[in-house]
Amino acid sequence: MRRFTKLSNLRIPITQSLIHKFTNNESIHLPPRHHQPRQRGQNGVELKNNLKNIWWKAMTQLNDNIVGVDAAIFMHPLTWKASGHVDGFNDPMIDNKDSKKRYRADQLLEGKAEVYANAGDEAKAQALLNETGRLLGNNDLEAVRELIIAEGIVCPISGTANWTEVRQFNLMFSTQVGSVADDASLIYLRPETAQGIFVNFLNVQKTGRMKIPFGIAQIGKAFRNEIVARQFTFRMREFEQMEMQFFVRPGSEMGWYEQWRDTRLAFHKAVGLPAEKLKFHIHEKLAHYANAAVDIEYQFPFGFREIEGIHSRTDFDLKNHQELSKKKQQYFDNDLDDNGKPYGNYIPYVVETSVGADRLFLAVFCNAFTKETTGEGPEAKERVYLKLHPALAPYKAAILPITKKDGLPEKGREIEKMLKSEFRVFYEDKDGIGKRYTRQDLIGTPFCIAVDHQTLEDNTATIRHRDTTEQERVHISELKAKIGYEVSEQRILEKI
């Protein structure tokens, strides 16, 4: 049973065996109708953790006005009522049996209303919209279907009115708290991490004596019951977000929006994604909460796709939380305006930056995969390696005694012991040295330290560089400093 994505279909050139080393969706338990979310393997989790750490530091360490939280995954339905997810994440769908096409029932009716409006019959159009809203509000799906048929709406493909039942597709996962299943115990798994920040906004602001502008960062899983979860790790039902909500004075949001847009692009370049494969995609159609939105897209082998969204969310979320919770979400701004008076109380505006951790992981993984041909003619050889930024690599260095004899393994272990408290190293003394180099190339280890007989004599070893395969001989006392800087997160953070 093939449980692994045929990556060739996605034009991802990475070999299956290498995919295995980083990610898998295999499970010993795979019941019918259960789509196993793709998981990270032993190397994938290291790469992803490294990306998460660098993002976290880029937020909370490089900015003295950004702090982190770790909010709940289970959240009260009111939270999602306030955010618009209970209403907006619920789509009534209807299929045409002849064309096999699926439509949103409300959009079919809205389309019909538009036809009336264009014909000059505004009253009829409005009446239809009102009726649609009333039926959907009552969740009377059978009546919605009858209305579609009564209005003579046909499928634009097949031209028939041979419709299926109307069904609700709720994109949120729900479950119950406690053992008695009634409405009061219903809770949702968060479909985005942002709301966890909003409901904690005042607490963080007051306890941290935060002054606007300031931000709250969070990394965590979110869950969406996607109809299709496809394209490798690109769209999943269980995914991880790295979000930062930046609270600003109303009216100043566009400046911050532009600043964060540029800062976030710099981040993606700093972790190694090339500028020519990154672009902004400005949203023409804005979500219900936003007054400006842009995606940072990366050119995956299957096309440009979003890896991060930067949204100016206005005061939509905080205002709704205030209304539903009856708790004031306002901030008192002591700064003086042009007239010399404090700005006073207001609900802050929010600029959001939201990275899909798994999408960034996939982008970095795809980008790192490198295939090179060395030599010419019959001498030509293909070399494959993962050109990860050293700070992102699962292992920072591999210690490889040139042979298994003459005390070289002991010397190698000595070096391993010296380095392993500083960064993650790999030790191996079996097989030919060339084979071991190649194995490390495949998982992106930037440095290989070869221990030879000269090491025993003068305590020097060679460092072999992954990208060039060139070697240099250094004293083992210098290894920590020499490799340490190269693999440090500092080198990435400096560029943001």
Partner RNA sequence: GCGAAAGUAGCUCAGCUGGUAGAGCGCGACCUUGCCAAGGUCGAGGUCGCGGGUUCGAACCCCGUCUUUCGCUCCA
Identify which of residues 107 and 263 has a Cβ nearer to RNA in the complex: 107
Of positions 203, 403, 477, 490, contacts RNA by CB under 7 A: 403
H helices present in 26-157, as ranges: 44-60, 77-83, 85-88, 105-118, 122-137, 141-150
Identify which of residues 88 and 250 has a Cβ nearer to RNA in the complex: 88
Does position 404 interact with RNA (CB under 7 A)? The reply is: yes
Contacts of RNA in 363-402 (CB under 7 A): 381, 383-384, 402
Q: Please name which of 222, 224, 227 lies closest in space to residue 241, comparing C-alpha atoms.
A: 222
Does position 462 interact with RNA (CB under 7 A)? The reply is: yes
Of positions 40, 48, 85, 359, contacts RNA by CB under 7 A: 85
Size of the site for RNA (CB under 7 A): 70
Does position 35 interact with RNA (CB under 7 A)? The reply is: yes
Of positions 140, 146, 226, 416, contacts RNA by CB under 7 A: 226
Report the distance separating Cα 12 and Cα 230, nearest Å: 14
Q: Please name which of 360, 352, 356, 357 lies closest in space to residue 270, comparing C-alpha atoms.
A: 360
Does position 225 interact with RNA (CB under 7 A)? The reply is: no
Q: What is the maximum alpha-carbon separation in the chain?
A: 96
Q: Please name which of 494, 462, 493 lies closest in space to residue 397, comparing C-alpha atoms.
A: 462
User: CB of 91 within 8 A of CB of 168?
Assistant: yes
Shortest distance in whole angstroms from residue 123 CB to RNA: 28
User: CB of 21 within 8 A of CB of 443?
Assistant: yes
Contacts of RNA in 182-201 (CB under 7 A): 192
Report the distance separating Cα 341 and Cα 10, nearest Å: 58
Does position 482 interact with RNA (CB under 7 A)? The reply is: no
Of positions 156, 342, 344, 432, contacts RNA by CB under 7 A: 432
Identify which of residues 77 and 84 has a Cβ nearer to RNA in the complex: 84
Kindly give the pairing relationship between strand 66-68 and strand 214-223: parallel
Does position 298 interact with RNA (CB under 7 A)? The reply is: no
User: CB of 431 within 8 A of CB of 437?
Assistant: no
Report the distance separating Cα 307 and Cα 268, nearest Å: 10
Of positions 309, 348, 394, 444, contacts RNA by CB under 7 A: 309
Report the distance separating Cα 393 and Cα 384, nearest Å: 15
Report the distance separating Cα 364 and Cα 377, nearest Å: 32
Site for RNA, rule CB under 7 A: 1-6, 9-10, 15-17, 20, 30, 32-36, 83-85, 88-89, 91, 93, 95, 100-104, 107, 169, 171, 192, 226-228, 230-232, 235, 287-288, 309, 381, 383-384, 402-404, 430-435, 437-439, 442, 450, 452-454, 462, 464, 469-471
